[in-house]
Amino acid sequence: MNAQHAWQVAAFVILPYVALTVFVVGHVWRYRFDRFGWTSRSSQLYERRLLLIGAPLFHYGTLLAILGHATGLLVPKSWTTALGVPESAYSAFSKVAGTTAAVLVVIGLAVLTVRRARSDRVRAATSRIDWLAIGLLWAMIGLGVGVTVGYNVLGPGYDYRETVSLWMRGIFTLSPSVSDISAAPWIFQVHATMAWLFLALFPFTRFVHFWSAPVWYLTRPFVLYRRRRGEVVLSPGESRGWRTFGRSSAGPRL
Amino acid sequence: MSIRAQLMMVMALDKCLGCHTCSITCKQAWTNRDGAEYMWFNNVETKPGTGYPRRWEDQERWRGGWMLDGKGRLALRAGGRVKKLTTIFGNPDMPLIDDYYEPWTYDYANLIDAPAGPGTPVVTPRSRLTGKPMDLTWGPNWEDDLAGTLAPDDPALSGVEDEVLLRYEQVFMFYVPRICNHCVNPSCVASCPSGAMYKREEDGIVLVDQDKCRGWRFCVSGCPYKKVYFNHLSGKAEKCIFCYPVTENGRPTVCSETCVGRIRAVGVVLYDLDTVAAAAQTTRASDLVEAQRELLLDPHDACVAAAAERDGVPHEWIAAARRSPVLALAKELRVALPLHPEYRTLPMVWYVPPLSPVLDTLTAAGYDTEDPDEVFPTVGDLRVPLRYVANMLAAGDPAPVQESLRRLLAMRIVKRRRQLGEGSPAAVASEGGMGLDDVERLYRLLALSPYDERYVIPKARREHAGAGQAHHGDDTLGGRGRG
C-alpha cells in the first residue's frame, strides 16, 4: 500500500463522510424546519423564453448524468461482465450516453446562467447561495465534461471502474480505499471533490426540489378533498415552519 | 348520493358601480405583501375588455380548464398526467408577469432628499422586481371604463359582430368583479402535481397548502380564470381563500362585506358528489348552464336533507341552505349564471347578467323601456350585448341570458306598475315566467338586499374539525379523492 498523505485522507475519506453527514442531517433539518422554503423558487414568471429552452435541456441532461453516474459508480464491473456485456460495448455506450448528457447539461446550464446574469428581474431574485451553487455546479460539471469528453472520448481513455468506482463503493461499505482513488488521474480526483462539496451544499439550496419529483401524480385522483383541521394557526414568523432558509425570519427581503 | 355543502357567491352585475372597494379591501387584507404585489385575489374588470391577466379568457392560448376528449370524457385542456410530468421543467402555458403587470413603487425618499433647486421634487416609478426606474405602460385596471379601447382584443367578443360593437350608438359597458370561483370540479387542484391544492369537505373552499406546494406552477396555468397566482419571492402558489377565517365565524368575505353596491350574496348550496362528473361532462354547450343548475340540490327535499345529514353536513348548514340567497338567485329564480360554464370547472361564483347594456341600447333605438309590449319582443333581437353576455355566462347560448334578462325586466315593470297603480302586474310577471311572489322575492334579494338575507353563512363547527389536531400536513393525501 502506498503511503497516504494527510491531504489524501482529508479529501478522500474525511470530506466524503462530512459531506454525506451534512447532506442527510441538512435534509432532515430543512424538511422539518423550512418546509415553506422547500420549492424550486421558479423564476419563470420573470422570463419565459430562455427558461423554456435552458431548463428542459439542463434537467433532462442532469437526469441522464445522474443515471450514468449511478451505473458507472455503483454497479461493479463484475456484474456487467457476468451479464455478458463486453467491456468494449459498455465503454462505447458510456461514451455516447455520457457525451449526450454532457452536451445537454452544458448548453442548458449555459443558457440558464446567461439568463440569470442578463435578465434584471431574474438577477434581482437570485440570492448568494444561488450564485455559490451555480459556481460549484460549473466547477463540478466542467471537470466532469473534461473526464468524459476530454479523457474518454478524445483522450487516451481511462477505466474508472477499476479505481474510482471501487473507492466510491468503499465509502458506502465503510472501507474507503485511498490508494484506489489516488491512482486515478487528477481530474477525476478534483471532480469527485467538487461533487462532495456540492452534496454538502445541496440541502440548503433550491436543489431540494429534486426530492419532490411528483411521480405519484400519475396515479392519484385528480381532485383532492381534505377536512378542516382544528389546530391553532400561527402567524408567519411565529411558527418554525415559516422560517425560510437564506432569509431572515422577520419577513421578506426587498 | 354523497352530499357536500359548498359556500357560493352570486354577484348582481347591474348593481356594480366599478368602485373597486372590493379589490382594495381584499388587497389590504391578503396580498399587501412582498412577492404578492401583482396579485389581486379580487379584481374588477371593465367588459368588453382584455381583463387581468390580459386575454385570460383565451383558452387556445393558456389552455386552462377542462375539455371533452375524443370519447366525450373529461380531460385537462393542457394535457394529462404524463404531459405534465414531462413538461415540468418549463411550464409551456404559464403567463409572464407582464401579462398581469410589472408591479412598481415610487422613490418617495426623493421628496425629502432632493437637493434644493428651482423645481418641485417629484417621485418616479421604480420596479418592485428590479428596483430600477421604469416607464408605466400597463398596470392594474389600466383599461378601466373602456380606456384605450382595448375592447376589440377581448376574446369573448369572438362571434359578435365587432364592427357593429364599437360604433358609438352600439357601445355598451359593464363591470365584472372576479374572485376565485371555488369550483366544484377545480382544474387547478387537478393540475397540481404535488397534491398541495385541495377542496375543503366542509365548505368547498379551495386552498393551497403552503407547506406542500413545490412551485411547479401548473395550477396557475390550469385555472382557466387565472385566479391562482405565483408568489415570485416565496416560490409558492397563492389564491383567494374565500376569507375562510371570517366565513368560519359566520360573516361574509371582505369583498362582500365592503361592497358599496350590495351586489354580492353569499350562502350555502348542497350538491351530490356522485353527479359532479356527469354535470362536467355535459356534451352540448347549450346544456351546460342547465346541467350546472341541476347540480345544486333542493334542500327542502326531505330525501336531500336526510342524505346530507347522513353524510355529515351539520344541521345548521342544511338550515342555511334552505334560506340560501344564492340558491334562490341561481336555481329557484333562475337569474344567476355561471362564469364561462364551458370551462367545465363548475364554478361556484355566479353572476346576474347586466340589464343596463340592453336598456341603454333600447333607449338609444327609441323604445320605451317601461312598456312591456315594446320591451319584451325586442330583448331577443339585441344581438350585440346579448351575444356578448352569452359568450361570458352561458357558453354562447343566448337563451339562459334572455330568460334572466326578461325576469329582471319584468321585476322592474311590475314594481313600477304597483307603485303607480296602473296596468296588470300579474300579466307582466308571467311575461318573465314568474308569479308575483317570485317578483317580490327577486325584488327583495336584488333591490333591498337586507344584510342578513343576502349573507346567510353558518359558522364552522369546531367539533367537526377532525381528530389529528396537533400537526399541519400529517393528513392522508390522496385518501379521499375523486378521479
Q: Determine the distance in angstroms separating the CA of B62 from the nearest CA of chain A, rounded to an integer.
A: 14
The answer to whether residue A225 is domain-embedded is no
pLDDT bucket at B483, cuts 50 / 70 / 90: very low
CA distances from B173 to B47, B49, B353 (A): 6, 9, 12
| Residue A254 neighbours by CB distance under 10 Å | 12
Residue A248 has what pLDDT? Answer: 36
Q: Determine the distance in angstroms separating the CA of B293 from the nearest CA of chain A, rounded to an integer.
A: 21
- The answer to whether A120 contacts B132, with C-beta atoms less than 8 Å apart, is yes
- Give me the residue from A51, A212, A229 closest to B469, CB to CB: A229
Residues B57-61 have a mean pLDDT of 95
The answer to whether residue A229 is domain-embedded is no
Pairwise CA distance, residues B339 & B352, whole Å: 10
Q: Where are the domains of chain B?
A: 3-102+137-159+175-255, 280-454
Residues B103, B104, B106, CA angle at the centre, nearest 5°?
165
Q: Determine the distance in angstroms separating the CA of A97 from the nearest CA of chain B, rounded to an integer.
A: 20
pLDDT bucket at A247, cuts 50 / 70 / 90: very low
Q: How many CB pairs under 8 A join A and B?
A: 183
- Give me the residue from A214, A221, A226 closest to B482, CB to CB: A221
- Segment B20-53, tens digit of pLDDT: 999 999 999 999 999 999 999 999 999 988 999 9
The answer, yes or no, to whether residue B482 has pLDDT greater than 50, is no
Amino acid, res. B359: L
What are the chain B neighbours of A234 within 8 Å (beta carbons)?
none
> Quick check: B213 contacting A, CB < 8 Å?
yes
Pairwise CA distance, residues B289 & B79, whole Å: 25
Pairwise CA distance, residues B300 & B141, whole Å: 42
Amino acid, res. B187: S
Residue A35 sits in a domain of what CATH number?
A: 1.20.950.20
| Residue B462 neighbours by CB distance under 10 Å | 9
Q: Determine the distance in angstroms separating the CA of A135 from the nearest CA of chain B, rounded to an integer.
A: 21
Q: What is the CATH number of domain B3-102+137-159+175-255?
A: 3.30.70.20
The answer, yes or no, to whether residue B150 has pLDDT greater than 80, is no
Quote the number of domains for chain A.
1
Q: Is residue B53 reached through a cis peptide bond, with omega within 30 degrees of 0 on the bond before it?
A: yes
Residue A237 has what pLDDT? Answer: 47
| Residue B113 neighbours by CB distance under 10 Å | 9
- The answer to whether B233 contacts A214, with C-beta atoms less than 8 Å apart, is no
A125, closest residue in chain B (CA to CA): B233
> Quick check: B118 contacting A, CB < 8 Å?
no
> Quick check: A254 contacting B, CB < 8 Å?
yes
H helices of A119-206, where? 120-124, 128-145, 164-172, 178-183, 186-201
Provide φ and ψ at B212, rounded to 5°: -100, -20
pLDDT bucket at B145, cuts 50 / 70 / 90: confident
Residue B166 has what pLDDT? Answer: 58
Q: What is the CATH number of domain B280-454?
A: 3.30.70
> Quick check: B277 contacting A, CB < 8 Å?
no
Q: Are B414 and B428 in contact (CB under 8 A)?
A: yes
The answer to whether residue A222 is domain-embedded is no
Helix axes B302-310 and B315-322, enclosed angle (nearest 10):
150
Pairwise CA distance, residues A52 & B206, whole Å: 29
Closest CA to A224 of B476, B242, B464: B476
Q: Determine the distance in angstroms separating the CA of A34 from the nearest CA of chain B, rounded to an integer.
A: 9
CA distances from B279 to A141, B177, B271 (A): 53, 25, 11
The answer, yes or no, to whether residue B473 has pLDDT greater than 50, is no
Pairwise CA distance, residues B281 & B296, whole Å: 16
> Quick check: B450 contacting A, CB < 8 Å?
no
- The answer to whether A42 contacts B230, with C-beta atoms less than 8 Å apart, is yes
**Nine-digit cell at B42?**
379580487
| Residue B193 neighbours by CB distance under 10 Å | 22
The answer to whether residue A247 is domain-embedded is no
- The answer to whether A223 contacts B33, with C-beta atoms less than 8 Å apart, is no
The answer to whether residue A188 is domain-embedded is yes
Closest CA to A76 of A12, A172, A189, A143: A172
The answer, yes or no, to whether residue B478 has pLDDT greater than 60, is no
Residue B421 has what pLDDT? Answer: 86
- The answer to whether B186 contacts A60, with C-beta atoms less than 8 Å apart, is no
What are the chain B neighbours of A34 within 8 Å (beta carbons)?
none
The answer, yes or no, to whether residue B149 has pLDDT greater than 70, is no
What are the chain A neighbours of B230 within 8 Å (beta carbons)?
42, 45
What are the chain A neighbours of B90 within 8 Å (beta carbons)?
44, 51-52, 55-56
The answer to whether residue A235 is domain-embedded is no
Pairwise CA distance, residues A128 & B134, whole Å: 25
Pairwise CA distance, residues B18 & B49, whole Å: 14
Residue B470 has what pLDDT? Answer: 35
Q: Determine the distance in angstroms separating the CA of B468 from the nearest CA of chain A, rounded to an integer.
A: 7
> Quick check: A249 contacting B, CB < 8 Å?
no
Closest CA to B210 of A108, A37, A176: A37
- Segment A88-126, tens digit of pLDDT: 898 889 899 999 999 999 999 999 999 999 999 999 999
- The answer to whether A35 contacts B216, with C-beta atoms less than 8 Å apart, is no
The answer to whether residue A57 is domain-embedded is yes
The answer, yes or no, to whether residue B413 has pLDDT greater than 70, is yes
What are the chain B neighbours of A62 within 8 Å (beta carbons)?
none
To the nearest 5 percent, what fractions of chain B are helix, strand and coil? Answer: 40, 15, 45
Secondary structure (DSSP) of B406-444: HHHHHHHHHHHHHHHT-S-HHHHHHHTT--HHHHHHHHI
Higher pLDDT, B318 or B472: B318
Residue B132 has what pLDDT? Answer: 95
- Segment B103-139, tens digit of pLDDT: 999 999 999 999 999 999 999 999 999 999 999 999 9
Helix axes B398-420 and B372-379, enclosed angle (nearest 10):
170
Q: Determine the distance in angstroms separating the CA of B130 from the nearest CA of chain A, rounded to an integer.
A: 5
Range of the domain at A88: 6-214
> Quick check: A124 contacting B, CB < 8 Å?
yes
> Quick check: A228 contacting B, CB < 8 Å?
yes
**Nine-digit cell at A195?**
461533487
Question: SS3 for A88?
Answer: helix
- The answer to whether A125 contacts B232, with C-beta atoms less than 8 Å apart, is yes
The answer, yes or no, to whether residue B480 has pLDDT greater than 50, is no
pLDDT bucket at A233, cuts 50 / 70 / 90: very low
Query: Cell 326531505 identifies what position?
Result: B302
Long-range contacts formed by B134-138: CB under 8 A, 24+ apart: B134/B102, B134/B104, B136/B104, B138/B98, B138/B101, B138/B102
